[in-house]
Every structure is written in structure tokens, then in C-alpha cells.
């Protein structure tokens, strides 16, 4: 989660300018927002010395006195997101157990470390944009918009979970694992890959709408 902290720091500073926030608000949200970026990049690649997870005001105060330290998060952010997606009724431990079982199944099928395989599958399945569609005066408009990393990962996870239900396997972690392995092949016949390609094709058709979208009444906006 802290693998590109420089981006996180610049994101914090960029985000601060339009909003007037008190020091207490910013301190709390900075500690949280430092870990938001680069959910898809692996933790092991975070070799650059990163900034400690304190508020920006405190950082400037400590600049001269203390060296920067790298605090890795307790859990891989992509796995955390995946667990949140399969969690029901707030039962996180049960969902985390299912995630762990899924990783075990991936390892059992492939005899390789499961986390890079899982990450690669999410990156293959994740679309880079979404197409907002709305009707205005009986004409359908399509407006492609880029997605943040978390949105991309979440979309990929949602599609994989939906497709996994049709797979064979006694328990859901096994079905998830089978779907993950199928997705990596990037076969255009795979339902997840097909959805991604359709979304991208639709965006290419309507790429003229990116820079100047048409005006739409508030009632119609998606």
C-alpha cells in the first residue's frame, strides 16, 4: 500500500488545495489516504524509501530531525479489497478465511506462489475506463471516463466473482481459484475478458465524447 508514497504525498497536497479542512480532519484522513494509491502494484516492489505515515503538517515539522521510514501495511490492499467484496453481513474473518483458501487452491492448481497469479489476473481483467450511458431526446449518448486503480480492481473482482459462480467446484474459494486461472489466459471467449473488451470497444466508438460531453438534464444523469 505504501509502495508509491511520493504519489500519495503529492495526491494529499493536490487534494488539500480546493478544500478548506481543519488540522484534525486532515491528520486523520492523511493517515488513511497515504495508503490509498497503487492498490494494484505489489508490496514487494516498494523499494524506494517512503515517507512515514504521519500528517503532512507533522512531516514538515520533523523534516530536519528524523529520517524517513517505511511502514508496510498489515495486509495486502488488493486482498483486503477482495475480502471486502466477498464479505457478507460484516463477517470479515470468515471472508478472510475464504480468501486464504482461494489462494491455497491457486497454489494447489499451479504449484506456484498464488499472490502474483491473483494480481496478474486482476490486472488482466480490469478495464481502464467505464462508459456512462444516458438518453437525451430519444438519443443514446455514451461517455467514456477513466477509472482509478481501486475502481478498476473492484470492477475486475466483481466480474470474476460473477463468472466464478458458473464454475465447477464444491466450495466458492475453489470456484474463484479456477476463474482466476482462466482469466490469466486472456482468452477472448472468457466472459470476464469479453466484458472488458466490449467496454473498451464501446469507448473507442465514442471517443469523440471524451473532451466535450453533451449537456444532459439532471434527471438523466447516471
Q: How many CA atoms lie within 13 A of 126 on its CB side?
A: 20
Decide: is 134 part of the binding site for other proteins (CB under 8 A).
Answer: no
CA dihedral 23, 29, 34, 38 (to 10 degrees): -140
b/e code 84-118 from CB counts within 10 Å (16+ = b):
eebbeeeeeeebbebbebbbebbeeeeeeebbebb
For other proteins, which is the closer residue by CB, 103 or 131? 131
For other proteins, which is the closer residue by CB, 93 or 212? 212
Instruction: Select the residue interacting with other proteins from 32, 37, 50, 216 (CB under 8 A).
Output: 37
Instruction: Select the residue interacting with other proteins from 79, 94, 100, 149 (CB under 8 A).
Output: 149
Sign of CA dihedral 167, 183, 146, 149: positive
Decide: is 15 part of the binding site for other proteins (CB under 8 A).
Answer: yes
Instruction: Select the residue interacting with other proteins from 81, 86, 94, 129 (CB under 8 A).
Output: 129
Instruction: Select the residue interacting with other proteins from 97, 112, 210, 222 (CB under 8 A).
Output: 210
Decide: is 38 part of the binding site for other proteins (CB under 8 A).
Answer: yes
Instruction: Select the residue interacting with other proteins from 58, 133, 201, 214 (CB under 8 A).
Output: 201
Spatial separation of the C-alpha atoms in residues 206 and 210, rounded to whole Å: 8
142: left (phi over 0), alpha (psi -120 to 50) or beta: beta
Decide: is 194 part of the binding site for other proteins (CB under 8 A).
Answer: no
Contact 160, 192 (CB under 8 A): yes
Q: Which residues contact 33 (CB under 8 A, 6 or more apart)?
A: 8, 11, 12, 15
Which cell numbers in the block locate residue 117? 497469479
For other proteins, which is the closer residue by CB, 5 or 102? 5
What minimum distance in Å lies between the beta carbon of 174 and other proteins? 27
For other proteins, which is the closer residue by CB, 154 or 196? 196
For other proteins, which is the closer residue by CB, 74 or 211? 211
Binding site for other proteins (CB under 8 A): 4, 7, 10-11, 14-15, 17-19, 37-38, 124, 128-129, 144, 146-149, 186, 196-197, 200-201, 203-204, 207, 210-211, 213
Amino acid at each position: 500500500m505504501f509502495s508509491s508514497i511520493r504519489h500519495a504525498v503529492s495526491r494529499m497536497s493536490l487534494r488539500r488545495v480546493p478544500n478548506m479542512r481543519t488540522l484534525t480532519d486532515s491528520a486523520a484522513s492523511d493517515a488513511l489516504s497515504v495508503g490509498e494509491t497503487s492498490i494494484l502494484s505489489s508490496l514487494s516492489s516498494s523499494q524506494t524509501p517512503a515517507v512515514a505515515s504521519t500528517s503532512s503538517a507533522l512531516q514538515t515539522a520533523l523534516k530536519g530531525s528524523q529520517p524517513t521510514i517505511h511502514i508496510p501495511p498489515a495486509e495486502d490492499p488488493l486482498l483486503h479489497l477482495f475480502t471486502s467484496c466477498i464479505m457478507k453481513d460484516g463477517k470479515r474473518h470468515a471472508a478472510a478465511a475464504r480468501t486464504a483458501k482461494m489462494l491455497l487452491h491457486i497454489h494447489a492448481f499451479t504449484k506456484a506462489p498464488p499472490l502474483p497469479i491473483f494480481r496478474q489476473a486482476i490486472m488482466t481483467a480490469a478495464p481502464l475506463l467505464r462508459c456512462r450511458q444516458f438518453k437525451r431526446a430519444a438519443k443514446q449518448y455514451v461517455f467514456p471516463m477513466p477509472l482509478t486503480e481501486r475502481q478498476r480492481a473492484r470492477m475486475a473482482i466483481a466480474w470474476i466473482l460473477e463468472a466464478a459462480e458458473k464454475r465447477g467446484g464444491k466450495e466458492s474459494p475453489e470456484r474463484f481459484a479456477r476463474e482466476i486461472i482462466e482469466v490469466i489466459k486472456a482468452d477472448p471467449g472468457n466472459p470476464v475478458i469479453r466484458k472488458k473488451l466490449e467496454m473498451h470497444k464501446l469507448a473507442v466508438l465514442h471517443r469523440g465524447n471524451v473532451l466535450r460531453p453533451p449537456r444532459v438534464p439532471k434527471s438523466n444523469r447516471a
